Amino acid sequence: MKTKIFILLLGVGFSLCSHQVAITFDDLPIAYPGHLSPEVQVKYFNHILYVLDQHEIGVTGFVVGMNIYPYKWNLLNEFCSRGHVVGNHTYSHLNLNDTSCTAFIEDIFRCEEIVDSLPTWQRYFRYPYLHRGDTPEKKDSIYRFLYKAKYHIVPVSIYTDDWIYNRDYLRAMERGEDSLLDSIGSAYLDHIFQVSNYFDSLAYRYEHRQIPHILLLHMNFINSLYLDTIINWYEQNNWEFIPVSRALQDSFYWKENTFIGGTGYYHLVPLLPGEASKR
pLDDT (tens place) for every residue of the chain, 279 residues total = 433 333 333 333 333 457 999 999 999 999 999 999 999 999 999 999 999 999 999 999 999 999 998 779 999 999 999 999 999 999 999 999 999 999 999 999 999 999 999 999 999 999 999 888 989 999 999 999 999 999 999 999 999 999 999 999 999 999 999 999 999 999 999 999 999 999 999 888 888 899 999 999 999 999 999 999 999 999 999 999 999 999 999 998 887 777 776 655 444 444 544 444 333
The answer to whether position 219 is within a domain reads: yes
pTM of the model: 0.90
The answer to whether position 12 is within a domain reads: no
Q: Are 142 and 133 a contacting pair, CB within 8 Å?
A: yes
Half-sphere exposure of 63 (CA within 13 A, CB side): 33
From residue 183, alpha-carbon distances to 160, 169, 180, 187 in Å are: 18, 9, 5, 6
Task: List the CATH number of the domain containing 49.
Answer: 3.20.20.370
* 3-class DSSP string for the chain: CHHHHHHHHHHHHHHHCCEEEEEEEEEECCCCCCCCCHHHHHHHHHHHHHHHHHHCCCCEEEECHHHCCHHHHHHHHHHHHCCCEEEECCCCCCCHHHCCHHHHHHHHHHHHHHHCCCCCEEEEECCHHHCCCCCHHHHHHHHHHHHHCCCEECCCCECCCHHHHHHHHHHHHHCCCHHHHHHHHHHHHHHHHHHHHHHHHHHHHHHCCCCEEEEEEECCHHHHHHHHHHHHHHHHCCEEECCHHHHCCCHHHHCCCCCCCCCCHHHHCCCCCCCHHHC
The answer to whether position 9 is within a domain reads: no
Neighbour tally for 243: CB within 10 Å? 17
Q: Are 170 and 41 a contacting pair, CB within 8 Å?
A: no
Report pLDDT for 257.
73
Report pLDDT for 205.
86
The answer to whether position 7 is within a domain reads: no
For 143, residues 6+ apart whose C-beta sits below 8 A from its C-beta are: 132, 153
Supply the range of the domain harboring residue 61: 19-278
The answer to whether position 1 is within a domain reads: no
CA–CA separation, 58 and 101 (whole Å): 33
The answer to whether position 13 is within a domain reads: no
Q: Are 96 and 89 a contacting pair, CB within 8 Å?
A: no
The answer to whether position 10 is within a domain reads: no
Core vs surface per residue 77-89: b (16+ CB within 10 A) or e: eebbeeebbbbbb
Domain count of the chain?
1
The answer to whether position 6 is within a domain reads: no
Report pLDDT for 261.
67
